[in-house]
Amino acid sequence: MSNLNSDVCYAVMTMPNPLQNWDPFALILIDVQRDFWTDEISRAFPDYDANVRKLLDYSREKNLDVIHIRAKFKADKTDWMSRYHFLDRIPCIEGTSGVEILPCAENKPGEKVFYKQTFDGFDNPELNDFLSRNQKRFVLVAGLVTSVCVLLTAASAAQKGYLVAVVEDCCGDNIESHRHTLARYPFIFSTTTVDEIPNHHETWEAELAQLEAEQV
């Protein structure tokens, strides 16, 4: 067999199954807002914009529920976390440019948007209510920043019983903190890149099936 034919056969064998069931899955995209998109992060992750667009396109194509989590604080400090009162500046104050969404992460009509005033998206009970009501059992998590709101939201999801995968090339942070977070917590979440998502589906589906069998 020629090398060309071998390549074609390999591509066919590894092509993701178009009949994959994504019903139990949801995407949680966190804090892709200007105040979190620092010069340091933008330099470290030059492909971030393209990767997030690709993630959203794929999720919408496969009819995953896409959930946008965003930070928003009042200027009068009434909804600030205690530590924030002692800082010179906090992110995402209402009415400032920092609260704005990066163009790559704009929500489409019908997609859920939940706001938070903490580091954990699940502190807004509407998030878990929505996931539970729609029978979601596996969440893909991405956004800014990896070592703070992404990590704490992913950890909270795991503690509430969801399986979690962090889409590492759709997250951003100080590069050392980013790498450390992704490597440090395999007992909380698995990791994937946006391009690898289709290839992980069989494993994730098997994990969900095993959990369901053990709960009978």
Where in the chain are the domains? 26-214
pLDDT at 91 over 90: yes
User: DSSP string covering 52-106, please?
Assistant: HHHHHHHHHHTTPEEEEEEE-B-TTSTT--GGGGGSS--S-BTTSGGGSBPGGGP
Residue range 129-163, pLDDT digits in tens: 999 999 999 999 999 999 999 999 999 999 999 99
Cβ atoms of residues 115 and 124 within 8 Å: yes
33: three-class secondary structure by DSSP: strand
Chain mean pLDDT for the chain: 93
Tokens of 140: 């893909």
CB neighbourhood size of 145 (10 A): 22
Strand partners, 163: 138
> In whole angstroms, what is the distance from residue 71 CA to residue 92 CA?
6
Q: Is 110 left (phi over 0), alpha (psi -120 to 50) or beta?
A: left
Going by C-alpha positions, the residue among 38, 26, 80 that lies closest to residue 177 is 38
Strand partners, 144: 172
Q: Output the furthest CA–CA distance in the chain (Å, rounded).
A: 72
* CATH superfamily, region 26-214: Isochorismatase-like (3.40.50.850)
In which band, very low, low, confident or very high, does the pLDDT at 84 lie, cut at 50, 70 and 90?
Answer: very high
pLDDT at 47 over 50: yes
Amino acid present at 207: E
The residue that leads in pLDDT, 17 or 124, is 124
> In whole angstroms, what is the distance from residue 27 CA to residue 198 CA?
14
Q: What is the pTM of this model?
A: 0.90
> In whole angstroms, what is the distance from residue 102 CA to residue 77 CA?
25
In which band, very low, low, confident or very high, does the pLDDT at 3 lie, cut at 50, 70 and 90?
Answer: very low
Cβ atoms of residues 74 and 94 within 8 Å: yes
In which band, very low, low, confident or very high, does the pLDDT at 18 lie, cut at 50, 70 and 90?
Answer: low
In which band, very low, low, confident or very high, does the pLDDT at 17 lie, cut at 50, 70 and 90?
Answer: low
pLDDT at 215: 85
In which band, very low, low, confident or very high, does the pLDDT at 216 lie, cut at 50, 70 and 90?
Answer: confident
> In whole angstroms, what is the distance from residue 215 CA to residue 38 CA?
44
pLDDT at 159: 98
